[in-house]
Amino acid sequence: MLPDDLQSLAVPVMAHRIIPTADAQLARRTTDAIIADIVHRLPLPHERQRSPYDTRPPSSDGRAQYDPRRG
């Protein structure tokens, strides 16, 4: 998954879980705007790193190799 994918999915996945404060409601901030603001404040990763749960052997360049037999 790319950071752009996560950014595009953040609002539909999380907006229903937000309960705006009275100040946010008075400022007419929607839950979509609150989530979008939070997502855009998060730093994007600079380079792809291996997951600590990735059990595939690393290749010569340090990244995991894809094995079609393992899925």
Q: Per residue in 2-28, pLDDT tens?
A: 778 888 899 999 989 999 999 999 999
Cα three-residue angle 71-7-66, rounded to 5 degrees: 20
Q: Which two tokens stand for residue 57?
A: 């052997």
Q: What is the pLDDT of residue 69?
A: 57
Distance CA 14, CA 58 (A): 34
Cα three-residue angle 11-20-28, rounded to 5 degrees: 90
Q: Model confidence over 35-64: pLDDT tens digits?
A: 999 988 988 766 666 667 777 776 666 555
What backbone phi and psi angles, to 5 degrees, belong to 66?
-85, 130
Distance CA 66, CA 47 (A): 19
Check whether 71 has a pLDDT greater than 80: no
